[in-house]
Amino acid sequence: MEPYAAHVSLRWSDMDAYAHINNVQFLRLLEDARVIGFRDWFGQERSLLDEGVLVARHEIEYRQPLGFRHEPVEIQMWVSRIGGAGFDVAYVVTDPDGVRAAGGDAGGDGAGGQRTVYAVAETELALYDFASASPRRMRPEERQILEQLFGDPAPFRRRRR
């Protein structure tokens, strides 16, 4: 399965005192990617964002500093777990094809075709019904969509047990 790829722009205000994108801002980048992805995955007419989905947990591993630039980052994402009332999304934050990493080769064109990986992450999401203000079960059509996006867990270097 080829991961879904969302291109997300960086903001000048995302930088910290070290001229890198602040670690907290990476969560905003992931959120922006989810918003883009969910509209594509579930359609404009009926998105999980409109009905209700809550973040239950984030796990993120920072791999390389990401400096501010005008080109977007590419956030590859896929579904890594499907439950009865929620699912996990895994991510790899990298460079789009042709974007040069600071001090490195153009993305995808480096040694062995490897892109610079800035972060690896996973988000646990819980389905929620805003109208009744309560958790809800996954519908069959939602499960079917998510199963088409299903892949391996996020490729963390070290997993907690």
Look at residue 159 and tell me if it is in a domain: no
Q: Read off the tokens for 31.
A: 């959120």
Contact 117, 80 (CB under 8 A): no
What domain count does the chain have? 1
Single-letter residue type at 50 = D
Residue whose pair of structure tokens reads 């969560």 in the numeric block: 27
Mean pLDDT over 68-89 rounds to 96
Contact 90, 153 (CB under 8 A): yes
Look at residue 108 and tell me if it is in a domain: yes
Look at residue 27 and tell me if it is in a domain: yes
SS3 85: coil
**Measured CA distances, 146 to 12, 22, 84, 86 (Å):** 34, 31, 12, 10
Q: Read off the tokens for 98.
A: 């042709």
Look at residue 157 and tell me if it is in a domain: no
Mean pLDDT over 118-141 rounds to 95
Residue whose pair of structure tokens reads 């996006």 in the numeric block: 149
User: What confidence score (pLDDT) does residue 114 get?
Assistant: 80
CATH number where 28 lies: 3.10.129.10
Look at residue 89 and tell me if it is in a domain: yes
Distance CA 96, CA 128 (A): 33
Residue whose pair of structure tokens reads 């905003």 in the numeric block: 28
The long-range contacts involving 104-111, CB below 8 angstroms and separated by at least 24 positions, are 107/74
User: What confidence score (pLDDT) does residue 160 get?
Assistant: 61
Distance CA 9, CA 74 (A): 9
Look at residue 91 and tell me if it is in a domain: yes
Look at residue 160 and tell me if it is in a domain: no
Q: Under 8 Å CB-to-CB from 151, ≥6 apart: which residues? A: 1, 3, 78, 79, 80, 90
Reported as a single tens digit per residue, the pLDDT across 57-76 is 999 999 999 999 999 999 99
Look at residue 114 and tell me if it is in a domain: yes
Domain of residue 62 covers: 4-148
Residue 159: is its pLDDT beyond 90? no
User: What confidence score (pLDDT) does residue 105 get?
Assistant: 47
What predicted TM-score, i.e. pTM, was given to this entire model? 0.88
